[in-house]
Chain A
Amino acid sequence: MRMKGSQIVMECLLEQGVDTVFGYPGGTILNIYDEFELHGYKEKIHHYLTSHEQGASHAADGYARSTGKVGVCFATSGPGATNLVTGIATAYYDSSPVVLITCNVSENLIGKDSFQEVDITGITMPITKCNYLVKDVNQLADVIREAFAIARSGRPGPVLIDIAKNVTAAEADYAYMPVSEHPNHGRLANMLRRAGRDLKTPEPDQNDIDKLLELIEQSKRPLVLVGGGVIRSKGAVPEFRRFMETLDAPVASTIMGGGACPGDHPLFTGMVGMHGSHASNMATYECDLLIAIGCRFSDRVATSPSTFARKAKIVHIDIDRAEIDKNVRTYHHIIGDARRVLELLNENLPQHDYSEWKDHVFSRKEVPLKKDGSLHPHEILETIQELTGGDAIIATDVGQHQMWSCQYYHFSHPGQLLTSGGFGTMGFGLGAAMGAKVGNPDKVVVHCTGDGCFRMNCHELSTLEHYHIPVITVIFDNRTLGMVRQWQNLIYHKRFSQTDLDRGPDFVKLAEAYGLHGFRAKNQAEFADAFRQALALGTGCVIDCAIDMDAMVHPMVNGGTPVTDFLLD
């Protein structure tokens, strides 16, 4: 059927089952936006107009992380496109599948420094899995099909398609093609042909699996380290739980692995790394076999790569071969999708019992929790845990509140924790929470944030209000950039350079200005009361929690130092 490029974009989104798009219109992308009205695509694809393109990119990311589907985001050329950059990098570092569609100026204006022209494919080259500049309408459908395949396959990630405006107005033949047919046509077919072998059933190497099983037999102190790969791999979590229970070894988690092992499971030692638990960090130091699944040993996990797990044989399971031996040297690796590798391991793994080693690991003292009538971060999270039955989706920003959320909320399923673990993007949380709530209307979505982070993208409150997206924002308000202040406290001799946030706005009034509800809490009872009301209201709410300016995240291992050198209090 003959149709315009703009309509082909819409049809290709429908092929992929896309029913939700976050975005912001502008000059060059007008033809695509016109399709919502002209051919009525707004009935099939719900478009959420955000306050800022960055919010749209985080929303698409949060939608993707919480649903496992590919998130989609639209933006116009120039500043519209560059406003996506932080969101793209955030998705890239945490391997979140997002397809971003931007339009550029018409082909005859490209390269002339035209109004709102920017080389967005050049800018996003290092932070996308792949990107495209489409100049031929006949290739448009093919490129979109390839983009979705790449975004969700292998190690997922963001893919950007930049379409010249004239392409959206030009006509081409389009025929519907189901997703299952895509690999047999066009560029995808070429790509697979070039790979030169049967990739229809890619399998992990059985010898590699057997070798790990052997290493497990020889091990006396095995430790499992679970990362975001297990969260991203569809269906991997049940296999993972079977694996860890059969192995009966302690399980530590990276920040991205939150939810793979239930937070209250007797084998769970907590988060590992810079703000990891005493038990997790000491276990990495003492174990003789470290089975790392879907993690990449970032500097926040392996704070000192040369001493990390140095008594252990490190076995790395990952889908991305380029991660092997990148940050720490490994003894053995298995390449494959986490679900499939774990399935194969489970087939031949006998039940183990490491009681003595487990008792040793869990005998480690953890940080004592304060309770003195003022409001402490752990009390906020315990209350949320209790009032949501541990089932809420928690989106965080970055800093102390992020670490507290990971330490004190018990995540029990994948996609429950939405946090910018790799890129550390302040301002990620509200957009992500919005995307998560749109994708999971039946779940309670709580946005945990700090006063610094919240200020960065709080304008998305208007989006919550307009579309009636009931996200509950909980501000850990310490009137300072808490994590930076913590470092200044510990390392910079209390020189608090530019971290005090002794300024407005009044967050309760701000919420009200956006047409939402605001609450204040100074102790646990007030917070519980406010949170109950927020749940009952079913609208967007902001709860401003006054916490101590000098509250710190403990334990802490300084960057570059071994995990044995840490601060408990």
Chain B
Amino acid sequence: MNTANHKRHTLSVLVENAAGVLSQVSRLFSRKGYNIESLAVGTTDDPGVSRITIEVLCDDQQIEQITNQLRKQYSVYSVRLLPPDSSIRRELVLIKVKAESREVRNEVIQIANIFRASIIDVSTTTLTLAIIGEESKDDALERLLDEFGILELVRTGMVALERGRATISDNADNKETDEFELGKNVL
């Protein structure tokens, strides 16, 4: 596959909170041959609705295909491609680092302070840090901690919202959304 025009796209998807829906959404990506870079899912303020944030590397035409295919699913309520310039993206990373001496512990704590990461667990031989940020900040911390020995690392997956007043429900007045709804009409 030609990857020259690939860039990172962030999709926000509102879906029915029901069994099988996550698998339905994620399978769409594998069916079309695209790799999910990151996926985060949780319920919203409405318990019947979940919000999935998906990051995918692909070109503009491919993301259009993915969006279109997502929109025609009955369990998908709304899809929005978040504009990179006006969106905030955050990911929580937990890192367990080897820290067997006092010097190492102090050094790790200093690094954590600089990055505004919090120490959430400590033992005689380890420290566990939590950091929230975008990948550049997380990656920089990860590189610095690498020399002490990272025992474990886990990411939640990126979540994102648009800046300002814009919300995913703004799609409601758009002609394209209407066109998809027409196909879903069951009357």
A residues lining the B interface (CB < 8 Å) = 121-122, 125-126, 129-130, 133, 146, 149-150, 153-155, 183, 188, 191-192, 194-197, 199-200, 202, 205, 319-322, 324-326, 335-336
Contact = CB atoms under 8 A, between A and B. Distances in A.
B68 A322 contact: yes
Contacts of A326: 65, 68
B75 to A, nearest CB: 8
Nearest to A146: B186
B181 A153 contact: no
Contacts of B180: 321-322
B78 to A, nearest CB: 9
Interface stretch (B17-25, B81-89, B129-137): B17-25
Nearest to A325: B64
B4 interface: no
A321 B183 contact: yes
Given A130-B74, A321-B68, A321-B179, A149 B186 contact: yes
A556 to B, nearest CB: 29
- 5 closest cross-chain pairs (CB), A and B: A322-B68, A335-B179, A149-B186, A321-B179, A153-B186
Contacts of A196: 172
Contacts of B183: 154-155, 319-322, 335
Contact of B181 (A133, A183, A199): A199
B19, B23, B24: residue with the most chain A Cβ atoms closer than 10 Å: B24
B153 to A, nearest CB: 31
7 contacts: A154-B186, A205-B175, A321-B72, A321-B183, A322-B69, A322-B180, A335-B183
A321 B71 contact: yes
Contacts of B77: 194
Given A122-B20, A322-B68, A322-B69, A153 B27 contact: no
Contacts of B102: none
Contacts of A319: 182-183
B64 A195 contact: no
B185 interface: yes
Contacts of B74: 129-130, 150, 191
Given A321-B176, A321-B179, A322-B69, A195 B31 contact: no
B116 interface: no
B185 A154 contact: yes
A336 B182 contact: yes
Nearest to B175: A205
Given A126-B31, A153-B186, A153-B187, A322 B19 contact: no
A192 B77 CA distance: 11
B163 interface: no
B20 A125 contact: yes
B6 interface: no
Given A322-B69, A322-B72, A335-B179, A199 B31 contact: no
Nearest to B14: A194
Contacts of B68: 321-322, 324, 326
A129 B69 CA distance: 12
A126, A150, A321: residue with the most chain B Cβ atoms closer than 10 Å: A321
Interface residues of B, number: 28
Contacts of B31: 126
Given A121-B20, A129-B74, A322-B68, A335 B27 contact: no
A149 B187 CA distance: 7
Contacts of A154: 182-186
Nearest to A121: B20
A150 B186 contact: yes
A321 B19 CA distance: 26
A169 B75 CA distance: 28
A125 B176 CA distance: 25
B27 A197 contact: no
Nearest to B176: A321
A183 B186 CA distance: 8
B127 to A, nearest CB: 40
Contacts of B172: 196-197
A497 B20 CA distance: 43
Contacts of A155: 183
Contacts of A322: 68-69, 71-72, 180, 183
Contacts of B184: 154, 191, 195
A233 B31 CA distance: 28
A126 B27 CA distance: 8
A197 B174 CA distance: 12
A133, A146, A188, A197: residue with the most chain B Cβ atoms closer than 10 Å: A197
Nearest to A337: B182
Contacts of B20: 121-122, 125, 133
B156 to A, nearest CB: 26
Contacts of A150: 74, 186
Given A122-B20, A194-B77, A320-B72, 10 more contacts: A126-B27, A150-B186, A153-B185, A154-B186, A202-B182, A202-B185, A321-B182, A322-B69, A324-B68, A336-B182
Interface string B48-63: 0000000000000000
Contacts of A197: 172, 178, 181
B171 to A, nearest CB: 10
A370 B99 CA distance: 87
Contacts of A146: 186
Contacts of B178: 197
Interface in B105-158: none
B148 to A, nearest CB: 43
B175 A199 contact: no
A107 to B, nearest CB: 13
A149 B65 CA distance: 26
A195 B181 contact: yes
